Amino acid sequence: MAQIIEMPKLSDTMTVGTLVKWLKNEGDTVKSGDMLAEVETDKATMELESFFDGVLLKQFAAAGSSVAIGEALAAIGKAGEKVEAPAPKKAEAPKAEEKKPETKEPEKKEEPKPASAVQAPAAAIPHSATPNPQSPASGRLRISPLALRLAAELGVDPKTAKGSGPGGRILRADILAAAKNPPAKAAAPAGKAAPVWPWRSVTDKSAVQAEATASPSNMRATIARRLLESKTQIPHVYLEIEVDADPLMALREQLNAGLAKDKVKLSVNDFVLKASAAALRAVPSVNTSWEEKGIKSHGAVHVSFAVAIDDGLITPVIRNTDQKSLMQISAETKELGKKAKDRKLTPAEFTGGTFCVSNLGMMGIERFTAIINPPNAAILAVGATVKKPVVVDDEIVIGQRMSLTLSCDHRIVDGAVGAKFLNALRDHLQNPALLLL
């Protein structure tokens, strides 16, 4: 009897997956351990492994389609064996209500509604096939939010870009390619002014206006849901502290000069991750999670860090961060960061973090607040290191300062506890030699 391959749950928050492409075709011989397809979850793109030997008899989902967890993807069995698509899994039907005797009412003549007022009922069924990047019926453009913003910045009409993502979705790379090879401009009809981007100067005659509605990817939809849950269900309290970054920047420059021959470069974020781990050991009350049955204290320190990718962000985890050297942390963040951008992280590499660091300093943001990533009790927002006038020994001198903002789950971390953590973090960053021990 043929074995049915179903869409597996590849992450803790996954509800549907997008079948990016098939790696095996119908009729191919398949062995246990072979990779059948690439599946995009809400956090990464992963390969779907076969656990059966046989022939790939049937593919029930097309490349680019969204498939709910537990729904059939393919069938594997003996050559020549006939197989039919299993019936979709249905939710349990609600109990029938007691029938009441009908009472006839005078018939009301229904006035015809204009076509624009008639609406189709919303469907909660996953699409079996993804439409073209721009569906003539819906007029919607399949494009990632990041690509849409980049198109606006570069003055590229998204409709001219060829989508390389799942189901023809337009990604950042597609906009960059369209910017390098712009299509020939058609002459504007006489008497009509060329449209412009709303945020550009009306005097910019070369600007092109484009309006599109981007359907959210699995990742963006999950981020929206989880952040809404975090902000509405977790009572956030914010604490900010300023760090003297002169010692840190001096030590980093010295270390990088010595490591230049090995092509190794330590980042400010490497120091922050190591210092955060040390502060969590000093104030373990922050290394906790709120659960229904009580407050969970984590024995290990697993610090995650936010990485921006197309359609959102993901938080790879440095496991046992407090037990690793700066060099190990630096190498691991670079490796995990690259895998994150390539959407090749495994679930083990982006789950299980006990604390999170979000750094926008490299983007010129001096200070901001971050939303807690459940089930963590806190998240650290790191701003840019800036030069400014500071008072040292009653004299005004030029110093380097870094702003750190801690968002705390007030159910677990009170202001005093959060302040202790920030002070421990500042002590390590202002005495960075401690991080080399």
For the segment(s) 236-436, the CATH number from 3.40.50.720, 3.40.50.80, 3.40.50.300, 3.30.559.10 is: 3.30.559.10
pLDDT in tens, 61-83: 888 888 888 888 888 988 888 88
% of the chain residues with pLDDT over 70: 81
How does residue 48 score in pLDDT terms, banded at 50, 70 and 90?
confident
Q: Tell me, what's the pLDDT at 97? A: 42
In this structure, the dihedral spanned by the alpha carbons of residues 363, 367, 372 and 378, taken in order and rounded to 10 degrees, is 120
Q: Which of 374, 332, 329 has its CA nearest to residue 356? A: 374
Average pLDDT over residues 145-151: 77
Single pTM value for the model:
0.63
Q: Tell me, what's the pLDDT at 193? A: 53
How does residue 209 score in pLDDT terms, banded at 50, 70 and 90?
low
Q: Tell me, what's the pLDDT at 343? A: 86
> Where along the chain do its domains lie?
3-77, 236-436
Q: Tell me, what's the pLDDT at 131? A: 38
Which region among 102-106, 129-133, 303-307, 321-325 has the lowest average model confidence (pLDDT)? 129-133
Contact 357, 333 (CB under 8 A): no
Which region among 161-165, 166-170, 222-226, 228-232 has the lowest average model confidence (pLDDT)? 166-170
Whether 410 is catalytic: yes
How does residue 142 score in pLDDT terms, banded at 50, 70 and 90?
confident
Buried b (16+ CB within 10 A) or exposed e, 399-417: ebbbbbbbbbbeebbeeeb
> Hey, which residues does 290 pair with through a beta bridge?
295
Q: Cα separation of 17 and 235, whole Å?
A: 32
Does domain 3-77 bear CATH number 2.40.50.140?
no
> Hey, which residues does 286 pair with through a beta bridge?
none
Q: Tell me, what's the pLDDT at 89? A: 65
Query: CB-side exposure of 220: number of CA atoms within 13 Å?
Result: 12
Q: Tell me, what's the pLDDT at 81? A: 83
Output helix, strand, coil percentages for the chain, rounded to the nearest 5: 30, 25, 45
Average pLDDT over residues 250-258: 96
Which of helix, strand or coil describes residue 150?
Answer: helix
Average pLDDT over residues 338-366: 94
Of 36 and 319, the structure prediction assigns the larger pLDDT to 319
How does residue 93 score in pLDDT terms, banded at 50, 70 and 90?
very low
Q: Tell me, what's the pLDDT at 336? A: 97
Q: What kind and span of H or E run contains 312?
A: strand 312-314
Whether the predicted pLDDT of 325 surpasses 60? yes
Of 126 and 149, the structure prediction assigns the larger pLDDT to 149
Whether the predicted pLDDT of 119 surpasses 70? no
Average pLDDT over residues 1-6: 85
| Annotated active-site residue in 127, 236, 298, 410 | 410
Between the ranges 8-17, 157-166, 428-437, where is the mean pLDDT highest?
Answer: 428-437
Average pLDDT over residues 137-165: 76
